[in-house]
Chains A and B, each alone.
Chain A
Amino acid sequence: MVGETQTLGSAPVASAAGAPAIPDFEIVPMKALPIVGIVVAALVVAIEYNRLWPLEFFHIVGGGMWTAIDLFVGFIIGPILGRLSIQARIEFLIRFMPKMVLLMPTLVTMTLVAGWQLANYTGDIAVAYPDHWWLTASYAVVGVMSVIAIGILEPANLAVLFELKKPRPDAELIGKLMRRFVYTAGITGAMQVATLVIMTRIATW
């Protein structure tokens, strides 16, 4: 491997002598699980309580963070990641990806569950077509983003993390999977622009 050109992410990089140093890390940050549990419990309470403020809180906070993170990762972090050295990318990935493994499903669940209940509460769910197309469009956008994020992006994240746990990670494989991460993060980021258009339209009916 010495002197051999490798790709990790989107930019080719030359490996240094020997394998890059990989600090120990947790694939799922166990310390954060109680926080996820508290959020889920609070979400259930908000739905049972069924008042505007808690439902708005979970839908707007969850959706705002989901959209902002997707845009930030897709258009800011992704391109930067592709230009870092192997060592810098590994250092970043092992700290960033495990947090995303817990954070994103929690935000998506908060947003969708509270959003459905909120639409029932406000009566927006019963609005007639053609206005209902805005709601249907939001379901379709979420559906396409789910397929990309859960079907392509997240499996690549997990495979990279498990590969980085090996004594001698396969740089070629990590490079291939990271390219998938960078591209799909960009696509979901672009789709979040559609979410912003749809949601601001629904909020101003």
Chain B
Amino acid sequence: MVTEQRERDLPPVSELAIATMILVVIGGTFIAGHVPKHVPLLLPSILLAAACVLLIANLFLLSRVTAFSWSTFRLVFSRSLAGYGVIAGLLTYVFIRGDIPNDVMAFLAAMLLIFALDIPLLFAFSVARYQPAESGAQR
């Protein structure tokens, strides 16, 4: 099938995006489970670093794709970024109001930033992969 062939030709962007999301969710749950008491930051540091690496690797793999529906990708990514940017912004706002220490807040903000970039990437790729491919020059 054309769809299966197309899926085989693409890097595992969805899988990496879901893995990134899982790391961020575990980190966020760990921090939220300790607040307002002292939060040990070793595990969140490891999870945040791993999530960053996965997100960057994912963007790199995606940038190597030549035949892809980039116009659809841009459309879905921009709309999703607007929506999930608002969600991440609201969560950051309510955490800041909750008197969370600055160092812990920095971790939460960084995780929410990754979340706000990762989800649009996942949505945009999931839609664009099934759309007619454009040439690399149309990127």
By a beta-carbon cutoff of 8 Å, the part of chain A in contact with chain B is: 28, 40, 43-44, 47, 105, 108-109, 112-113, 116-117, 120, 125-126, 132, 135-136, 139-140, 143-144, 146-147, 150-152, 154-156, 158-159, 162-163, 170, 172-173
Contacts and interface: CB of A to CB of B under 8 A. Distances in A.
Interface stretch (B19-27, B46-54, B60-68): B19-27
Contacts of A170: 3, 130
A116 B98 contact: yes
A28 B129 CA distance: 19
A156 B123 CA distance: 9
B15 to A, nearest CB: 10
B14 A155 contact: yes
B29 A147 contact: no
B41 interface: no
A112 B25 contact: no
B8 interface: no
Contact of B127 (A117, A147, A158): A158
Contact of A135 (B33, B86, B94, B98): B33
SS of A interface (majority): helix
Given A109-B90, A135-B33, A150-B21, 14 more contacts: A40-B90, A47-B93, A105-B84, A109-B91, A120-B99, A125-B36, A136-B33, A147-B21, A151-B17, A152-B18, A155-B122, A158-B126, A163-B130, A170-B3
B91 A173 contact: no
A105 B116 CA distance: 13
Interface residues of B, number: 38
Interface of B: 1, 3, 14, 17-18, 21-22, 25-26, 28-29, 32-33, 35-36, 72, 76, 79, 83-84, 86-87, 90-91, 93-95, 97-99, 119, 122-123, 126-127, 129-131
Contacts of B83: 105
B28 A143 contact: yes
A135 B119 CA distance: 25
A170 B130 CA distance: 9
Given A120-B98, A132-B33, A147 B25 contact: yes
A117 B94 contact: yes
B131 A162 contact: yes
Contacts of B22: 147, 151
A113 B89 CA distance: 10
A136 B95 contact: no
Contacts of A140: 29
A44 B127 contact: no
